[in-house]
C-alpha cells in the first residue's frame, strides 16, 4: 500500500500539528500567557523565535498552545455532528414515513442558514466560549451528515443482504446497527475528514470575530484579532497565526482528498 | 416548468417558517435575562421593566413569536435597542453595500477562475495544470480573513495603493468607491476562485472529449475557436449552478470580510449588533440573510432546470 505524495504531505502536516497540540507544555519555551513588558512587540529572534505580542507574550508558545483549541474544536464538533447526524439520517432513511419527514424537515431548516451565520447566531446567544464554539459548529455540520447517511440508508435498505437479515428474523435496530451502519460509513468518513478542515476555519472565524475561545487562552483566530492593531510595525504577529491555520487546513484538505480517492469509488 | 416552479416555491414556505422560528428563538437561548444582557447590569428597574414590556417578553413564547412574525409580514421588524432606529431600514440599507461587494467578488472570481481552469484543462497533467491545481488547493485552505489582512499589509500599509477600510457610495464618488471595493472584493473573490477553477477544469476536460469537439476540429476550426467558443459554452450549466451556490456562500463570506474591512454591509451589521447585544437587529439580520440564502438556492435550482430539461422531468 503506497501512499500518494499528497496524502503523505497532508498526513505529515497533521501529525506535526497533533504533536504540537499534545506536547504544547513541553514544546513551548515560554508560558503562553505570561506578559513580559520588556519583550513587548519584540521581532522574531533568538529568545522569541516568532517574536512577541504587545504584552510581550511569546508568539511561538502561543501558536503551539493554539493548536490545542483548533484541533479540539475541529475534532469534537465533527465527531459530535457525525454521531448524531448519522444516527438521525440512518433512522430517517431506513424507516421512512413520519420519522423521515420530521427529521429531515428540521435538517432542512438548519441547512437554510449560511454555516458561519448559524454558528455566529448560536455563539452570540449562548455566549462566547470553547464549548459553545464546538456546539455551534456541530449544529452547522449536523444536516450534512444526516442527509448523507439518509441517502446511504435509502440505497442499502433494499439490498439483498439486508433483505436476507430481515428474512432471518433480525429486528430493525439490529439490522440498522450491524448491517446498514457499517456499509454506509465509507462516504461518511470521507465527509468527516473534509469537514475537519472547514471546522478549523470556522473556529478561527469565530475567534477572530471575538465570539470563539476567549483571551487570554491563545487560539490562532484570536491571535490574528489581536494582530490587527499592529500591522504597520509588527506584521509578524499576523503572519505566524495565519500560516498555522493555512498549513493545518491544507494538511486536512490533502488528507481528505487522499481518503476520498481511496474510499469513495464514485470520485 | 410552471408546475416545477410552483412546487418548489410551495416547498419553501415551511422552511422559511422554520428559519423564522430559529431566528426568533435564538434570543431565548441567552442565559439569564436577555433584557439585563441588553441594558447592562447597572440598568435601573424601571427601564428594564419598560424594555421587557416593549419586547413583550412576559408573554408566552409562542404568542411573542406570532406577534413578531405578523409584524414582519407587514414589513415591521421593530426598533433597534441602540438608537431606537427602525430595524427594517437598518437591514435594507446594509444590503446595498453587501450586494455590491458580493457581485464584485463574483466577478473577480470568474475573471481569475475561468481562464485558469480552461488553460489547466487544455494542458492536463502538464506543469501549467499542476501549478494551477496546487494554487487552487492553497486557495481552498486559505482563511479569507487572513488573506484580507495580508492584502491590507501589502497593498495598503507597505505600498499604499488602496484604503484599508471604509466605504464610499458609488454615486457620490465612483472612483473612490472602486478603490475601497478593491481589497474586500479581491479577498472574497480569491476564496471563490479556487472552487470555480476546479469545476471549470473538470467540466472542460469532459467537454473536450465530446464528439462535437472532434467534429469542430475535423472541419478545420482553429484550436482557439474550438476551445473558447464551442467547448467553453458547454461548461455553462455546471458553472451557473456553482455561481448560484456561491452567491449563497457569499452571504456567509461577507460576515468576516466586511468586519475586516469595515464595509457597512449586512455582515458587519450582524457582528456589531451581536456585540451591542441589540437582539432585535440580530434576529432580523439572521432571518433576512437566511431567507435570501434560501431564495438564491431556489433561483439556482430553477435556472438549472431551465437550462437542463432532464432535471425538471425526472
Same domain, B18 and B161: no
Domain boundary among B18, B47, B73: B73
Is residue B287 included in any domain, yes or no?
A: yes
| Cis geometry, peptide bond prior to residue A216 (ω within 30 degrees of 0) | yes
Instruction: Name chain A contacts of B14, Cβ cutoff 8 Å.
Output: 105
Q: What is the CATH number of the domain that holds B256?
A: 1.10.3720.10
Q: For chain A, what is the mean pLDDT?
A: 90
Cβ-based contacts of A205 with chain B (< 8 Å): 143, 145, 255-256
Interface probe for B, chosen from A113, A212, A220, A225 (most Cβ of B below 10 Å), is A113
d(CA A62, CA A60) in angstroms, rounded, equals: 5
Residues 6 or more apart in contact with residue A206 via CB below 8 angstroms: A119, A120, A123, A128, A133, A136, A212, A221
The per-residue pLDDT for B312 is 65
User: How many structural domains are present in chain B?
Assistant: 2
- Min Cα distance A171 → chain B (Å) is 34
In a domain, residue B78? The reply is: no
Q: Is B161 exposed, middle or buried (0-12, 13-18, 19+ CB in 10 A)?
A: exposed
Helices (H) and strands (E) in chain A, counts: 10, 0
In a mutational test of the B interface, the residue from A9, A209, A225 whose CB has the highest number of chain B CBs within 10 Å is A209
What pLDDT, in 10s, does the model give residues A72-85? Answer: 999 999 999 999 99
Same structural domain for residues B25 and B164? no
Name all domains of chain A by residue range, CATH numbers in brackets.
5-24+56-263 (1.10.3720.10)
Q: How far is B216 from chain A (nearest CA, A)?
A: 30
User: pLDDT value at position A265?
Assistant: 56
| A266, pLDDT greater than 70 | no
Contact assignment for A114 to B138 by CB distance below 8 Å = no
B196 lies in a domain?
yes
Q: Is residue B237 part of a domain?
A: yes
User: Coil, strand or helix: which one is B79?
Assistant: strand
Does residue A1 have a pLDDT over 70? no
* H/E run at residue B89: helix B87-122
Check whether residue B245 and residue B98 sit in a common domain. Answer: yes
- Does B94 share its domain with B37? no
What is the pLDDT averaged over residues A8-33? 91
Q: What angle do CA A187, A193, A197 make, to 5 degrees?
A: 140
* B110 and B158 fall within a common domain: yes
Q: Which of B146, B153, B271 is the closest to A246 by Cβ?
A: B146
Could you give the percent of chain A with pLDDT greater than 70? 97
The closest CB to that of A224, out of B146, B251, B274, belongs to B146
Work out the minimum CA distance from B107 to partner chain A, whole angstroms.
21
State how far residue A179 is from chain B, nearest Cα, in angstroms: 31
Q: Which residues of A touch B (CB under 8 A)?
A: 105-106, 108-110, 112-117, 120-122, 124-127, 197, 201, 204-205, 208-211, 224, 227-228, 231-232, 235, 238, 242, 245-246, 249-250, 253-254, 257
Sole residue written with cell 457569499: B250
Residue A267's pLDDT band (cuts 50, 70, 90): very low
Candidates B36, B25, B30, B82; CA nearest to A128 is B30
Whether residues B203 and B262 fall in one domain: yes
The contacts of residue A165 (CB under 8 Å, 6+ apart) are: A174, A175, A179
A170/chain B closest Cα distance in angstroms: 35
Beta bridge partners of B86: B79
pTM: 0.90
Q: Residues 6 or more apart from A13 whose CB is under 8 A from it?
A: A247, A248, A250, A251, A254
Q: What pLDDT was estimated at residue B301?
A: 86
* CA dist., res. A222 & res. B247, Å (int): 28
CB within 8 Å: A121 and B256: no
Query: What is the predicted pLDDT for the residue at B82?
Result: 80
Shared domain for B109 and B156, answered yes or no, is: yes
Q: How far is A137 from chain B (nearest CA, A)?
A: 14
What letter would DSSP give residue A58?
B
Hey, which residues does A52 pair with through a beta bridge? A58
Instruction: Say yes or no for a CB contact (<8 Å) between B290 and A112.
Output: yes
Where chain B has pLDDT below 50, the residues are none
Residue that terminates a domain, selected from B41, B73, B105 = B73
Contact A117 B252 (CB under 8 A): yes
Q: Is residue B179 part of a domain?
A: yes
Does the residue B79 lie in any domain? no
Residue-wise pLDDT for A103-138, tens only, equals: 999 999 999 999 999 999 999 899 899 999 999 999
Domain boundary among B73, B103, B128: B73
Is the pLDDT score of A172 beyond 60? Answer: yes
B96, B63: one domain: no
Q: Distances from the Cα of A22 to the Cαs of A16, A65, A82, A176, in angstroms? A: 10, 9, 23, 36
Q: Look at residue B82 and tell me if it is in a domain.
A: no
- Check: CB of residue B261 under 8 Å from CB of residue B165: yes
Residues B142 and B66 in one domain: no
Residues 6+ apart with CB under 8 A from B44: none
Contacts A253 to B, Cβ<8 Å: 137, 140-141
pLDDT for A105 equals: 92
**What span, in angstroms and rounded, lies between the C-alpha atoms of A210 and B282?**
16
B191 and B230 co-located in one domain: yes
Angle at B85 between CA B93 and CA A225, to 5 degrees: 65
Structural domain boundaries, residue B283: 87-313
Query: Could you tell me if B17 and B142 lie in one domain?
Result: no
Residues B112 and B47 in one domain: no
Identify whether B124 is part of a domain.
Answer: yes
Contact A109 B149 (CB under 8 A): no
Asked if B145 reaches chain A (Cβ–Cβ under 8 Å), the answer is: yes
Amino acid at each position: 500500500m503506497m501512499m500518494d505524495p499528497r496524502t503523505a504531505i497532508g498526513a505529515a502536516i497533521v501529525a506535526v500539528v497533533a504533536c504540537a497540540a499534545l506536547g504544547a507544555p513541553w514544546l513551548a519555551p515560554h508560558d503562553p500567557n505570561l506578559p513580559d513588558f520588556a519583550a513587548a512587540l519584540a521581532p522574531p529572534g533568538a529568545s522569541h523565535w516568532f517574536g512577541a505580542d504587545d504584552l510581550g507574550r511569546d508568539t511561538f508558545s502561543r501558536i503551539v498552545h493554539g493548536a490545542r483549541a483548533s484541533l479540539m474544536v475541529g475534532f469534537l464538533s465533527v465527531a459530535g455532528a457525525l454521531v448524531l447526524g448519522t444516527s438521525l439520517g440512518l433512522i430517517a432513511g431506513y424507516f421512512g414515513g413520519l420519522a423521515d419527514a420530521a427529521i429531515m424537515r428540521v435538517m432542512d431548516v438548519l441547512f437554510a442558514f449560511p454555516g458561519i451565520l448559524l454558528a455566529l447566531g448560536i455563539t452570540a446567544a449562548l455566549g462566547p466560549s470553547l464549548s459553545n464554539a464546538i456546539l455551534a459548529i456541530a449544529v452547522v455540520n449536523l444536516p450534512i451528515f444526516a442527509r448523507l447517511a439518509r441517502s446511504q440508508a435509502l440505497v442499502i435498505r433494499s439490498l439483498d443482504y439486508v433483505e436476507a437479515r430481515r428474512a432471518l428474523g433480525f429486528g430493525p435496530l439490529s439490522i440498522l446497527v450491524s448491517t446498514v451502519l457499517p456499509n454506509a460509513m465509507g462516504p461518511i468518513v470521507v465527509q468527516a475528514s473534509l469537514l475537519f478542515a472547514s471546522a478549523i476555519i470556522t473556529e478561527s472565524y469565530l475567534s477572530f470575530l471575538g465570539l470563539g475561545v476567549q483571551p487570554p487562552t491563545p487560539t490562532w483566530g484570536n491571535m490574528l484579532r489581536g494582530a490587527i492593531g499592529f500591522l504597520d510595525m509588527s506584521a509578524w504577529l499576523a503572519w505566524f497565526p495565519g500560516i498555522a491555520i493555512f498549513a493545518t487546513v491544507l494538511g486536512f484538505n490533502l488528507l481528505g482528498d487522499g481518503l476520498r480517492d481511496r474510499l469513495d469509488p464514485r470520485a | 416548468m410552471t408546475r416545477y416552479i410552483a412546487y418548489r416555491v410551495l416547498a419553501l414556505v415551511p422552511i422559511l417558517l422554520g428559519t423564522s422560528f430559529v431566528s426568533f428563538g435564538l434570543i431565548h437561548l441567552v442565559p439569564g435575562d436577555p433584557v439585563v444582557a441588553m441594558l447592562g447590569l447597572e440598568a435601573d428597574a424601571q427601564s428594564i421593566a419598560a424594555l421587557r414590556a416593549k419586547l413583550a417578553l412576559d408573554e408566552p413564547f409562542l404568542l411573542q413569536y406570532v406577534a413578531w412574525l405578523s409584524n414582519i409580514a407587514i414589513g415591521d421588524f421593530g426598533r433597534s435597542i441602540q438608537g431606537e432606529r427602525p430595524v427594517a431600514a437598518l437591514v435594507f440599507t446594509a444590503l446595498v453595500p453587501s450586494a455590491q461587494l458580493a457581485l464584485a467578488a463574483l466577478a473577480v472570481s470568474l475573471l481569475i477562475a475561468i481562464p485558469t481552469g480552461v488553460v489547466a484543462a487544455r494542458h492536463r497533467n502538464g506543469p501549467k495544470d499542476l501549478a494551477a491545481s496546487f494554487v487552487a488547493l492553497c486557495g481552498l485552505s486559505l482563511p479569507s480573513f487572513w488573506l484580507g489582512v495580508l492584502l491590507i499589509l501589502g497593498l495598503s500599509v507597505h505600498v499604499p495603493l488602496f484604503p484599508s477600510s471604509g466605504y464610499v457610495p458609488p454615486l457620490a464618488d465612483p472612483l473612490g468607491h472602486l478603490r475601497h471595493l478593491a481589497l474586500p472584493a479581491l479577498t472574497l473573490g480569491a476564496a471563490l476562485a479556487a472552487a470555480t477553477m476546479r469545476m471549470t477544469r473538470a467540466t472542460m476536460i469532459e467537454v473536450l472529449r465530446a464528439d462535437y469537439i472532434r467534429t469542430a476540429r475535423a472541419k478545420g476550426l482553429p484550436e482557439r475557436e474550438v476551445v473558447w467558443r464551442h467547448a467553453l459554452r458547454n461548461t455553462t450549466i455546471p458553472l451557473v449552478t456553482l455561481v448560484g451556490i456561491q452567491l449563497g456562500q457569499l452571504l456567509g463570506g461577507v460576515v468576516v470580510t466586511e468586519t475586516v474591512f469595515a464595509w457597512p454591509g449586512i455582515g458587519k451589521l450582524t457582528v456589531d449588533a451581536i456585540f451591542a447585544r441589540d437582539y432585535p437587529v440580530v434576529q432580523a439580520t439572521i432571518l433576512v440573510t437566511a431567507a435570501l440564502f434560501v431564495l438564491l438556492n431556489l433561483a439556482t435550482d430553477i435556472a438549472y432546470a431551465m437550462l437542463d430539461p432532464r432535471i425538471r422531468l425526472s
